[in-house]
Amino acid sequence: MPSRRLLFAGLASGSLVALAGGCARGRSSPPADADGCRAPGELVEFSSVAGARLYYAESGKPVVQRIQPAFLAQLEAWALDWAEVSGYGPVLEITSFGAFVDKCGSFHQLGRAFDLAQIRQEEAAVSARFDEWQPGRSQQLRDYWRLAASLQLHFNYTLCYPYNDAHLNHIHVDNSISGSDFSEFNQNSRVQVQLVQHTLRHVFDLPTPDTGVFDDVTRDALRQVQAAAGIHAPLRNAAGWHAYLRAAARG
């Protein structure tokens, strides 16, 4: 199994299809009690992500938050990857609703979750505040779903505005499912299928439903993108899934 670092290098160089095997998942987490509460391990303070200053969405001011160190490293790997693939330059500021929150039933309680509201880059700002700009112009929606695809690559558990009203103002990511690995596709996951459908619609301009069902219409649109991008592996193959997400993130 290739390490995350080696796989990241392969993705960056475009050698996606050669990495045909999936990675074993790293789902290590402390057991929850009867109320779904977990005791966090080591937490560190952070005020930036890969050099991008961190701001709190509620106040708009710079903030120091707490996070698990390994999860912070994953966020930083994502930020560097997005800066390259987006074409918008380095990430300068990240606005968030938080990382560690002492709340039972959530990976925020372990410092292994992050709620992203907006990022500002050298050449553009990308907002996940669907609550502020819905239903959205085509460019807003395109950037939103490009960003979501980039996050989904690094974090299997990526929740966007179609999930529920609580996610209208941010994109939630955590590593509860994929651990330290990249994500894998599950066609029975409503969340992942909706991400595919929305990227097909808003990034690639192909009419698709918003059902969360991996139906024939979705598959037909997906095949068009795969053919145009030279992606030969299916989504159920890790390399095919990663290739699609990177194509969507590039836009």
pLDDT on residue 40? 84
pLDDT-based confidence at 29, cuts 50/70/90? Answer: low
C-beta separation of 107 from 89 below 8 A: no
Q: How far is CA 127 from the centre of its chain?
A: 14
pLDDT on residue 37? 87
pLDDT-based confidence at 175, cuts 50/70/90? Answer: very high
Each residue of 222-233: pLDDT tens digit?
A: 999 999 999 999
Q: What's the one-letter identity of residue 13? A: S
Q: Above pLDDT 90, what percent of the chain? A: 82
- Mean pLDDT of the residues in the chain: 89
pLDDT-based confidence at 25, cuts 50/70/90? Answer: very low
Count CB neighbours of 214 within 10 A.
20
Cα–Cα distance for residue pair 54/48, rounded to 1 Å: 5
Residue 122 predicted with pLDDT over 90: yes
Residue 208 predicted with pLDDT over 70: yes
pLDDT-based confidence at 21, cuts 50/70/90? Answer: very low
Hey, which residues does 93 pair with through a beta bridge? 53, 120
Three-class HEC string of the chain = CCCHHHHHHHHHHCCCCCCCCCCCCCCCCCCCCCCCCCCCCCCEEECEECCEEEEECCCCCECCEEECHHHHHHHHHHHHHHHHHHCCCCEEEEEEEECCCCCCCCHHHHCCEEEEEEEEECCCEEECCHHHHCCCCHHHHHHHHHHHHHHHHHCCEEECCCCCHHHCCCEEEECCCCCCCCCCCCCCCHHHHHHHHHHHHHCCCCCCCCCCCCCHHHHHHHHHHHHHHCCCCCCCCHHHHHHHHHHHHHC
Q: Classify strands 65-67 and 91-98 as parallel, antiparallel or unpaired.
A: unpaired
Q: Above pLDDT 70, what percent of the chain? A: 86
Q: What global pTM score does this model have?
A: 0.87
Each residue of 51-82: pLDDT tens digit?
A: 999 999 999 999 999 999 999 999 999 999 99
pLDDT on residue 2? 37
pLDDT on residue 14? 37
pLDDT on residue 36? 75
C-beta separation of 109 from 40 below 8 A: yes
Hey, which residues does 196 pair with through a beta bridge? none
pLDDT on residue 32? 72
C-beta separation of 92 from 52 below 8 A: yes
Residue bearing the bigger pLDDT, 216 or 28: 216
Residue 9 predicted with pLDDT over 60: no
